[in-house]
Structure 1
Amino acid sequence: DLPGVMADMNEARYYPHGGAYAHVVGYVAKVSDNDVKGMRERGEEIPSILYNPGYRIGRVGLEKALDEPLRGEAGGNRVEVDVRGRVVAEDMAGSKPAVQGSEVVLTLDNDVQQRALEVFGEEAGSIVVMDVRNGDILAMVSSPSFDPNLFVSGVPSRIYRALADYERRPLTDKALAGTFAPGSTFKPVVGLAAMKRGLDPTRRIVCNGSFYLGRRFACLGRHGALDLRGAIKASCNVYFMTLATEMGPDAIAETARDMGFGQTFDIGIGGQKAGLVPDREWKRRTYSGEQKTWYPGESPSYGIGQGALTVNALQLAVYTSRVANGRKAVMPRLIKSIGGVEQGSNAFADLPYDPQMLQVLRDGMEAVTSAGGTGFRNSQLGLGTVQMAGKTGTAQARNYGAGSRKGAGRPWSQKDHNLFVAYAPTDNPRYAVSVIVQHGGLGGGTAGAPRAREVMKVALLKDPEMRARIEQSGFEAQEDAGVREAEARGEPLDGAATDTAAPAPLVEPAR
């Protein structure tokens, strides 16, 4: 209507780290009719800034969850200019100062986060790193990732379809929404449930390679007589199948929930899936007829982290943090502050278990990463007296029948999932890590452990106290001597238990 007058507007969101934070931070996109319609239906007042051409709102991740505090308020100056465009007057009554959105600070550490994505390479899966003392999440990565900058100005349909159709699902946040059977990483939970119900951890159960209950359940090894610590070290199926059959599902489910499974956490971001912790009530609620009954033959698989049980990487990190802490039910925290106001609290509830019971689990997990343990070779940090304890895991992705579970030659989608959980240092735990390598193949010590090792090293070396301790220990000579000593004794570098396979060195991507 006014010749020579035009509106010129440009707004942009730029993500400098590309895919490293794509799933956590999310991205923004243009406001749609459906967005405005949804606000009206909820009875919300429509902010005038949403009507500005090209304005963008949060679509997923923290961008969506914190859209309002990040948004701020639009402002502008109403001015009069001469023919040369120079301001000659300002209408103060018609001007409105802009209000900047609140600054949001996360607990994530950029170096740990970047390394976590880097070590995945082309593999699919997730890594979560937590501080076991205060619950701060130092890294939460889902791989493969994507560049959120593509979505700011509108991603071309061909690129979106390529991302959406790729079998490794880069648009899915596998750390929160990817649920998998935990496999043998769940065995310490079964041991803890049994101790709560009177199990003497020194009780020995004989493993002859099989467990029989209506049918044969295999254990990939003949471990002989083992106590709880030894069963965790060897990842003996027979031991934990026996405990699960004796206790039943309800006892296991109770302890699993105490340790962080079957629930979501208030970390300020949506899209979490709680997974499933099955028990008798769940079967009654879910099925009909004869299927409503929990049969004894279902318990052996439950005892080794299979069956209907599913978890996500964040839950595995919380569980590992609680084992490492030994006393407190550590809760995760992602948002450190909003607008300068501290978020979250370190006042955690006490774990409903005797700390000595948690110590038994830690003893077993420390043995996993010692000579002869299922995760020995690929879990060595090489940082002198600073050692890492962990638990390997393999989760079946399909029923193999009488066939081999080895992944060689199989299509990617038919290989087992590869898991590893760990904490360090063993003598005074500070950091916990969980790794899920989707279809990573048989043996949690082969794909999960080396990735956990590399990420844990970054977290430890960035900690000033840990770095000082490492530098004082002359660690290179100690590490080499330890490996040579184990080999001289004739001890295997990787045990012949459920979660073992030939060690696969981590391929270092270009930096």
Structure 2
Amino acid sequence: VGGSRPAVPGKDVVLTLDADVQNRALEVFGDESGACVVMDVRNGDILCMLSAPSFDPNLFVSGVPTRTYRALADYERKPLLDKAINGTFPPGSTFKPATALALLAAGVDPADRVNCSGVFRTGQRCWGRHGSQDMHNAIKNSCDIYFYTMCNRAGVDLIRDTAMKLGFEHEFDIGVDNQRKGLLPSTEWKRRTFPRDPVWHPGETTSVAIGQGAVTVNALQLAVYTSRLANGRKAILPRLIKSVGGVDRPSGAEVPDLPFSVEHLDIVRGGMIAVANDRSGTAYRQSQLGLGDIQMAGKTGTAQTRNYGSGSRRSNVWSQKDHNLFIAFAPVDAPRYAVVVIIEHGGRGGGTAGAPRAREVMRTVLLKDPEMRERITRPPPPEATGPQIDEGEIGAAPESAVAPPAPSVPATPRPTGGPRPYLSGPQ
């Protein structure tokens, strides 16, 4: 044919993805919608980057039939949207460790205590009545009242600055475009976006402090954030392409140090360890790995998707349920892997749908690591004691904890739009 040229073989591209981990994540998601990202916190390698529900890309090789395309495009759970990098969500209480680091940078004493009666002076509610809380317990119990009370000691601009240093509102050079940066609001953003009401009000910081309001992030950013917290030294960057033509791409560990003190990071990580290993933590039951002495640290999150008004936050309509998030790293004594799970409209608390799936994915990652397999033979740590308060059990009956794989949920029309006004619920 005139003008045609013979095909030239391209260079081999080797990804960091692990097919076993990717497939396990797909299994445990079942019919749910959302994203899962797994990173090696030592070098930034992305072992899993899942968007669910998925589809067969081979359908598009020779031109997808219109009927098939319309079925995919119109399905409420949006399989054509890459929820790992192009879908943005309010992070909910998974954002609280970032707020805690901002408070510490502002000089807040982590031993300072706030009494949680369940209701803040503005009328905002906490999902429980936690009593006297210091920073450690506020992270462990996901106490909104603590963060409502303390957040303006840092202010929205310092919270934003801290969150950006942890990886939010960034696009990463992973060889894949079409990433959405999300949003971290600030006083300057308020002036630019709302010229008729340009002043940032202290009451607006309360929503930002717990990962609501205008805050939006994607799953890859959450994984980078979790990896940086776990690594504790380096501002780890994600790497998806391992090599091109036999030449390795730069490691995600070839980066500057984190601009946070070791003492401050230890305080925040201590709270995350308690989330998963203290019986009164918000994800204790769902975070037990059963792999010898290996323990996981985590943080639950619930992200509101609608304005409840004076009605109930509970709904049997899929599109009206809260998003369900969980971030985790393991082992706690020498972190290697970070896992992020976002379950779109997954139910009440981050421990009900996100944590069980994160646990199963984390188990797969650890079982593939020869050094971790050796630790499985060691005796488990002493069993935690004290009352167990699973997320959602205070103030309202919880939705049933979901064991993977997930049951199917009836399809219902889904509205689109940005973050809604926030009314706190179980975290």
The TM-score with structure 2 as length reference comes to 0.91
Matched, 1:354 2:261: yes
1:363 pairs, out of 270, 274, 295, with 270
Change in CA separation of 1:493 and 1:274 when aligned onto 2, cut-off 3 Å: closer
Structure 2 letter corresponding to 1:400: Y
Is the partner of 1:402 in helix, strand or coil? coil
Q: Which residue of 1 aligns with 2:134?
A: 227
Q: Which residue of 1 aligns with 2:285?
A: 377
Q: Which residue of 2 aligns with 1:61?
A: none
In structure 1, C-alpha distance between the alignment counterparts of 2:9 and 2:232, rounded to whole Å: 43
In structure 2, C-alpha distance between the alignment counterparts of 1:498 and 1:138, rounded to whole Å: 38
> 1:302–1:309: 8 Å Cα contact kept in structure 2?
yes
Is the partner of 2:79 in helix, strand or coil? coil
Matched pairs, number: 405
Matched, 1:325 2:231: yes
Structure 1 portions without partners, runs of 5+ = 1-6, 8-47, 53-73, 76-97
Q: Which residue of 2 aligns with 1:285?
A: 192
In structure 1, C-alpha distance between the alignment counterparts of 2:189 and 2:39, rounded to whole Å: 31
Q: Which residue of 2 aligns with 1:216?
A: 123
1:163 pairs, out of 72, 78, 88, with 72
The Cα of 1:493 is off from its aligned counterpart by 4.8
The Cα of 1:496 is off from its aligned counterpart by 4.8
In structure 2, C-alpha distance between the alignment counterparts of 1:372 and 1:502, rounded to whole Å: 18
Change in CA separation of 1:324 and 1:500 when aligned onto 2, cut-off 3 Å: farther
In structure 1, C-alpha distance between the alignment counterparts of 2:54 and 2:14, rounded to whole Å: 22
> 1:445–1:501: 8 Å Cα contact kept in structure 2?
no
Change in CA separation of 1:469 and 1:386 when aligned onto 2, cut-off 3 Å: same
Matched, 1:473 2:378: yes
Offset from partner CA, 1:14-45 (integer Å, 9 cap, x none): xxxxxxxxxxxxxxxxxxxxxxxxxxxxxxxx
- Mapping of residues 200-211 of structure 1, within 5 Å: 200-211=109-120
Q: Which residue of 2 aligns with 1:193?
A: 102
1:297 pairs, out of 203, 213, 217, with 203
Q: Which residue of 1 aligns with 2:162?
A: 255
Structure 2 portions without partners, runs of 5+ = 408-427
Q: Which residue of 1 aligns with 2:318?
A: 412
Offset from partner CA, 1:389-432 (integer Å, 9 cap, x none): 1000000000101222223x2x1111110000000001110000
Change in CA separation of 1:449 and 1:467 when aligned onto 2, cut-off 3 Å: same
In structure 2, C-alpha distance between the alignment counterparts of 1:306 and 1:494, rounded to whole Å: 19
> 2:32–2:406: 8 Å Cα contact kept in structure 1?
no
More helix by share: 1
In structure 2, C-alpha distance between the alignment counterparts of 1:195 and 1:492, rounded to whole Å: 27
Change in CA separation of 1:498 and 1:432 when aligned onto 2, cut-off 3 Å: farther
Q: Which residue of 1 aligns with 2:176?
A: 269
- Mapping of residues 24-35 of structure 1, within 5 Å: none
Change in CA separation of 1:507 and 1:452 when aligned onto 2, cut-off 3 Å: closer
Is the partner of 1:362 in helix, strand or coil? helix
Structure 1 letter corresponding to 2:218: N
- Mapping of residues 310-321 of structure 1, within 5 Å: 310-321=216-227
TM superposition outliers: structure 1 runs of 4+ over 6 Å: 497-500
1:433 pairs, out of 331, 334, 339, with 339
In structure 2, C-alpha distance between the alignment counterparts of 1:507 and 1:127, rounded to whole Å: 14
Matched, 1:146 2:55: yes
The Cα of 1:474 is off from its aligned counterpart by 4.8
The Cα of 1:348 is off from its aligned counterpart by 1.4
In structure 2, C-alpha distance between the alignment counterparts of 1:498 and 1:128, rounded to whole Å: 32
Change in CA separation of 1:439 and 1:382 when aligned onto 2, cut-off 3 Å: same
Is the partner of 2:80 in helix, strand or coil? coil
Q: Which residue of 2 aligns with 1:306?
A: 212
The Cα of 1:497 is off from its aligned counterpart by 6.2
Is the partner of 1:455 in helix, strand or coil? helix
In structure 2, C-alpha distance between the alignment counterparts of 1:241 and 1:500, rounded to whole Å: 24
Matched, 1:104 2:1: no
The Cα of 1:135 is off from its aligned counterpart by 0.3
The Cα of 1:502 is off from its aligned counterpart by 4.5
Change in CA separation of 1:494 and 1:181 when aligned onto 2, cut-off 3 Å: closer
> 2:224–2:236: 8 Å Cα contact kept in structure 1?
yes
> 2:151–2:205: 8 Å Cα contact kept in structure 1?
yes
In structure 2, C-alpha distance between the alignment counterparts of 1:405 and 1:343, rounded to whole Å: 47
Q: Which residue of 2 aligns with 1:172?
A: 81
In structure 2, C-alpha distance between the alignment counterparts of 1:284 and 1:365, rounded to whole Å: 35
Structure 1 letter corresponding to 2:300: T
Offset from partner CA, 1:340-380 (integer Å, 9 cap, x none): 11112331111111011111111000100121110111111
The Cα of 1:246 is off from its aligned counterpart by 2.7
Q: Which residue of 2 aligns with 1:399?
A: 307
In structure 1, C-alpha distance between the alignment counterparts of 2:396 and 2:332, rounded to whole Å: 21
Structure 1 letter corresponding to 2:314: K
> 1:107–1:136: 8 Å Cα contact kept in structure 2?
yes
Q: Which residue of 1 aligns with 2:417?
A: none
> 1:123–1:143: 8 Å Cα contact kept in structure 2?
yes
> 2:17–2:48: 8 Å Cα contact kept in structure 1?
yes
In structure 1, C-alpha distance between the alignment counterparts of 2:397 and 2:135, rounded to whole Å: 19
Change in CA separation of 1:498 and 1:467 when aligned onto 2, cut-off 3 Å: farther
In structure 1, C-alpha distance between the alignment counterparts of 2:310 and 2:289, rounded to whole Å: 37
Point out the structure with max Rg over C-alpha: 1
The TM-score with structure 1 as length reference comes to 0.76
Offset from partner CA, 1:469-510 (integer Å, 9 cap, x none): 11x2255xx6xx83xx64xx5444557569993551314379
- Mapping of residues 437-476 of structure 1, within 5 Å: 437-470=343-376, 472-474=377-379
Matched, 1:130 2:35: no
